Structure 1
Amino acid sequence: MNEMNTTLLSAVDTNLVPVYAEIFLLIATSAILLIDMYLKAGKRNLTYALSLLAIAGCAVFSFVDFNAGTTVFTFNGMYVSDPMSNLLKLFTYAATAMTLVYSRQYIGERDMMSGNLGGEFYVLALFAMLGQMIMISGNSMLSIYLGLELMSLSTYALVALRRDHAISTEAAMKYFVLGALASGFLLYGMSMIYGATGSLDITTIGQVTSANQADPMILVFGLVFLVAGLAFKLGVVPFHMWVPDVVQGAPTAVTILLGGAPKLATFAIIIRLLVEALPSMAFDWQQMLMVVAVLSLAFGNITAIAQTNLKRMLAYSTIAQMGFVVLALVVGNIGGDTTDAAAAYSAGMYYTIIYVLTTVGTFGLIMMLARAGHEAELISDFKGLGKRSPWFAIVMTILMFSLAGVPPMVGFIAKYAVLQAVANAGMVWLAVVAVMFSLIGAFYYLRIVKTIWFDEAVDTSAISTPLDMRIIMSLNGVAIVVMGVIPGSLLAVCYSAMQATLAK
């Protein structure tokens, strides 16, 4: 009897090992919520510190799993810990931690941390990150959807956190209504695929569809809704309507949470639901994604030129940037040939990671210039930054050059990796289209640089920011340059992680 109990306990322990990070985060976030209830308004730095410690604890667990390099399934195959999931989680932690550092002063100066509100921003950010972790490791349509809803509900609340701010409330309503519609599309597509295959498990669905044992009509019908839901979460044309309004209307601290780490989780579920679950239907979903990619590159880059609000400009920029990510997904499986699949999908993963690190830094600088009663959202607010703060003007220049794809910034390497994958697939015309629209996009990024260095400053007041924000912002800018000069390490890691994930 004792031996049976020992065996059972061992099996349970083994079953929980891949989800130690998620369990730790759930317990830590619940504890932070309780502790914050008893803190006075001026003591919320403890909530901030505990939130960063919680993220650091998760990073330790995921790093150990990533270093092991193994693929482990748990909860009857509903959850998987593999190299891709652990790598994306590590960058999710980094993006979320940077967001909290950049946001601390911003939320402290506004009504997001006063009155009846406490540390809800930090708690909701951690719950959103938990949802992203579940999405990244989900190996069942059910677990993926649960993670997606946990993240979505947290971000809906975050956008509406400034309850007496009309613009934020309007943005929250738009985001909630359109987000619910997109979730309905995704869920309906999942139900169709479940009806055709008889399973929610990603691996089983892949086996059934590859063996042509499912009704192709129902699969295609479900695939259309599935791609529509995923396109909305990625924020690409024609499901982009929410992006500019929500990005502009949400508090900038929340905008980072929307435009940063969630992109990593969305990329992960695209790999799970399309690449792993429906490889035999690659031709169908690749044709849809190709149209989405070209439209996103065109609409995002052209529309961004006309914007005077920097947050709105970056929102349209995001649409175009995600178009590049979608390009990598289009060329992984050519006529059933998956020889270059790992290279193509890893290029997309690398591009997503670099985009997230760059955009988090960009919005961090917007918050750095903001102060109580002034949001610093207009392009004109950056006039003369080179004289006010030369170092952070350099950092902003680096970030803009990276988004534009100017060498030697890492954004150039990311674009080159995707274009190389597209060209290797024989779609040279698609690579030429992407380059043309990237050149158009370079205009509005360089316009920011011109504003920073050559326009006379309207506001000459000193920029006062916490030391931790200055340090992280500086490291963020330096990392963009270093990774551009020495790009091989992260590219190789992304390739090996994707190769191991696809081989399982």
Structure 2
Amino acid sequence: MNDMNWLAIYPEILLLVLTCVVALVDLFVTDPRRTPTYVLTLLSLVVLGALQLSYVTDGVTVYGMQGMVVSDPMGNMLELCATIATLVSLVYARPYAADRGMLKGELFTLSLFSLLGIMVLISANNFLTIYLGLELMSLSLYALVALRRDDIPATEAAMKYFVLGALASGFLLYGLSMMYGATGSLELGTVLQAIGAGGMKNEVLVFGVVFVVAGLAFKLAAVPFHMWVPDVYQGAPTAVTLLISGAPQLAGFAMAFRLLVEGMAALAVDWQQMLIVLAVASLVIGNLVAIAQTNLKRMLAYSTIGQMGFVLLGLACGVMPDDPEAATNAYSSALFYTVTYVLTTLGTFGLVALLAREGFESDEIADLKGLNQRSPWYAAVMAIFMFSLAGVPPAVGFYAKLAVLQALVATAQPLYIGLAIAAVLLSLIGAFYYLRVVKVMYFDAPADAAAPITASGDARAMMSLNGLAVLVLGLLPGGLMAWCTQAISQALAG
């Protein structure tokens, strides 16, 4: 634990070096489409992903930097998924950014710095490292939202995101400081032992947990800390909305797991109740308010809020006394849900970006009218994504919801069984606005049939792979679920 052990942070060091290389090379790029920068960025992410994959296959847990970071199977899996999500986002974002004067070196370097913050956050084993990763990720995303300085909605969204994000970071930092004051340590393992040993004022610990959960709820887009999500998703350029809605959700899950399960499991009786309230409120508000939306990006934002309710339910039912198998089942279902949700939401926002053209955003539900007549393939892929978000088989979203519901029912406690029933009913309500998009694409006359749908070859190929992955994982979910279960079980054993 007291060893530096640089092996634990080789991926972060590699990403930092590659990001600096991309930034320097871009200074000499004169191509307006930034082709050298784009290719170098994708190559950097592929190299990084290959290194992370080697860590995943090793399956060992390594502590480094005197115990401040940990490289474990769960963290390595999430880091690999975050790298893939960033790569997919940039492929979708490039045509959109080129049409709007956003295709600058800053788009690529800030995206890589955001990924670096995500990786630091995922591998954190210390309160300071968690906060460092969170701020690096957040500051990069704030700057990305404001990248179009002459666009009023984007500037307004950046201001809202920054102010509310700073407030949430303050909540989290205050809660962590209270936990440090009560336990005398910043390291998660030591904090867990200190809380388990007792002898501290329970009031201080409970107040600390309340502020920590409030900070986590903001990052996970849970009600009542959700109001930034629809405003930022709608106001930000779609290329940036892709980057916000994908990899940061993986970081949010990792932060919640590290803090609540690995650091504060002894206080589960307190934070479980809070997570249940946040989950139910998110499911209710997210699914009901989404029905009233006409803007597609805003509807998907409320969809995100509702989807995060399922993740919180999976986390809430994980701490069961004397039943480690139930804990592994619950947390792995929440991890599976998060990964598959990110995969699906990247495709939905990616399609919104690909359908946009210069001077036209294509972010209203009405803009999808008659899409099947204009492009049957795009309409079919979008239908797969909508079915997945609604939880309709055979898309992967059905199995993800089923896994969380099984974890709730497996507790055999009336409260969690009731929550499972409520989640099913609210999902049925939520299916309305997803199926409305399918209806608009297939049964409404196209508003602008003559407008061509143009997209680069790499973006079209990525969209096809994305849709295929959502379908294949729905038909064959066992491999990914086994991967999630193994990662969680090793994290709990460590």
With normalisation by structure 1, the TM-score equals: 0.96
Is the 2:3–2:65 contact (alpha carbons within 8 Å) kept by the matching residues of 1?
Answer: no
Pick the aligned partner of 2:399 from 391, 413, 416: 413
Aligned to 1:68: 58
Is the 1:159–1:251 contact (alpha carbons within 8 Å) kept by the matching residues of 2?
Answer: yes
Aligned to 1:463: 453
Aligned to 1:496: 486
Pick the aligned partner of 1:59 from 24, 46, 49: 49
Secondary structure at the aligned position of 2:5 is classed as helix
Pick the aligned partner of 2:233 from 240, 247, 254: 247
Q: Deviations over 1:136-194 (max 9, x none)?
A: 00000100100000000000000000000000000000000000000000000000000
- Which region of structure 1 is more displaced relative to structure 2, 334-343 or 397-406? 334-343
- Cα distance in 2 for partners of 1:162, 1:303 equals 29
- Cα distance in 2 for partners of 1:256, 1:464 equals 19
Per the TM alignment, residue 215 of structure 1 is displaced from its structure 2 partner at its CA by 2.4
Q: Deviations over 1:344-383 (max 9, x none)?
A: 0010000000000000000000011100111000001000
Pick the aligned partner of 1:42 from 32, 36, 54: 32
Per the TM alignment, residue 339 of structure 1 is displaced from its structure 2 partner at its CA by 3.7
Q: Are positions 1:436 and 2:425 aligned together? A: yes
- Cα distance in 2 for partners of 1:398, 1:213 equals 54
Is the 1:112–1:162 contact (alpha carbons within 8 Å) kept by the matching residues of 2?
Answer: yes
Mapping for residues 240-279 of structure 1, pairs under 5 Å: 240-279=226-265
Supply the AA of the counterpart residue of 1:296.
S
Per the TM alignment, residue 35 of structure 1 is displaced from its structure 2 partner at its CA by 1.1
- Cα distance in 1 for partners of 2:135, 2:40 equals 25
Is the 1:283–1:335 contact (alpha carbons within 8 Å) kept by the matching residues of 2?
Answer: no
Q: Are positions 1:296 and 2:286 aligned together? A: no
Aligned to 1:82: 72
Question: Following TM superposition, where does structure 1 have runs of at least 4 consecutive aligned residues deviating by more than 2 angstroms?
Answer: 11-14, 334-339
Aligned to 2:14: 24
- Cα distance in 1 for partners of 2:324, 2:278 equals 22
Pick the aligned partner of 1:111 from 92, 97, 101: 101
Aligned to 1:353: 339
Q: Deviations over 1:13-58 (max 9, x none)?
A: 9811121111111011011111111211425111111111111111
Pick the aligned partner of 1:483 from 455, 458, 473: 473
Is the 2:75–2:123 contact (alpha carbons within 8 Å) kept by the matching residues of 1?
Answer: yes
Is the 1:128–1:155 contact (alpha carbons within 8 Å) kept by the matching residues of 2?
Answer: yes
- Cα distance in 2 for partners of 1:424, 1:179 equals 36
- Which region of structure 1 is more displaced relative to structure 2, 42-51 or 151-160? 42-51
Per the TM alignment, residue 214 of structure 1 is displaced from its structure 2 partner at its CA by 3.0
Secondary structure at the aligned position of 1:80 is classed as strand
Is the 2:2–2:65 contact (alpha carbons within 8 Å) kept by the matching residues of 1?
Answer: no
Pick the aligned partner of 1:101 from 67, 91, 116: 91
Pick the aligned partner of 2:382 from 385, 396, 417: 396
Identity %: 57
Pick the aligned partner of 2:82 from 71, 76, 92: 92
Per the TM alignment, residue 334 of structure 1 is displaced from its structure 2 partner at its CA by 2.8
Per the TM alignment, residue 131 of structure 1 is displaced from its structure 2 partner at its CA by 0.2
Q: Deviations over 1:280-328 (max 9, x none)?
A: 1001000000000000000000000000000000000000000010000
- Cα distance in 2 for partners of 1:21, 1:186 equals 26
Secondary structure at the aligned position of 2:153 is classed as helix
Q: Deviations over 1:77-129 (max 9, x none)?
A: 0000000000011111111100000001000010213xxxx310111000000
Mapping for residues 168-187 of structure 1, pairs under 5 Å: 168-187=154-173
Supply the AA of the counterpart residue of 1:71.
T
- Cα distance in 2 for partners of 1:46, 1:429 equals 55
Supply the AA of the counterpart residue of 1:302.
L
- Cα distance in 1 for partners of 2:156, 2:459 equals 30
Pick the aligned partner of 1:214 from 200, 212, 218: 200
Q: Are positions 1:446 and 2:432 aligned together? A: no
Is the 2:33–2:98 contact (alpha carbons within 8 Å) kept by the matching residues of 1?
Answer: no
- Does the C-alpha gap of structure 1 residues 97 and 423 become closer, same or farther in structure 2, counting only changes over 3 Å? same
Supply the AA of the counterpart residue of 2:252.
T
Secondary structure at the aligned position of 1:73 is classed as strand
Q: Are positions 1:377 and 2:363 aligned together? A: yes
Per the TM alignment, residue 336 of structure 1 is displaced from its structure 2 partner at its CA by 6.2
- Cα distance in 1 for partners of 2:148, 2:105 equals 13
Secondary structure at the aligned position of 1:42 is classed as coil
- Cα distance in 2 for partners of 1:41, 1:202 equals 48
Give unmatched runs, 5+ long, in structure 1: 1-10
- Cα distance in 2 for partners of 1:288, 1:69 equals 33
- Does the C-alpha gap of structure 1 residues 341 and 45 become closer, same or farther in structure 2, counting only changes over 3 Å? same
- Cα distance in 2 for partners of 1:369, 1:378 equals 11
- Cα distance in 2 for partners of 1:95, 1:163 equals 26
Secondary structure at the aligned position of 2:101 is classed as coil
Give unmatched runs, 5+ long, in structure 2: none
Pick the aligned partner of 1:324 from 310, 334, 339: 310
- Cα distance in 1 for partners of 2:190, 2:54 equals 28
- Cα distance in 2 for partners of 1:339, 1:375 equals 48
Aligned residues: 490
Secondary structure at the aligned position of 2:223 is classed as coil
With normalisation by structure 2, the TM-score equals: 0.98
Secondary structure at the aligned position of 1:340 is classed as helix
- Cα distance in 2 for partners of 1:258, 1:382 equals 23
Q: Deviations over 1:246-265 (max 9, x none)?
A: 00000001001111110001
- Which region of structure 1 is more displaced relative to structure 2, 153-162 or 37-46? 37-46
Supply the AA of the counterpart residue of 1:306.
A
Q: Deviations over 1:451-485 (max 9, x none)?
A: 00000001122211110011110010011111111
- Which region of structure 1 is more displaced relative to structure 2, 35-44 or 150-159? 35-44
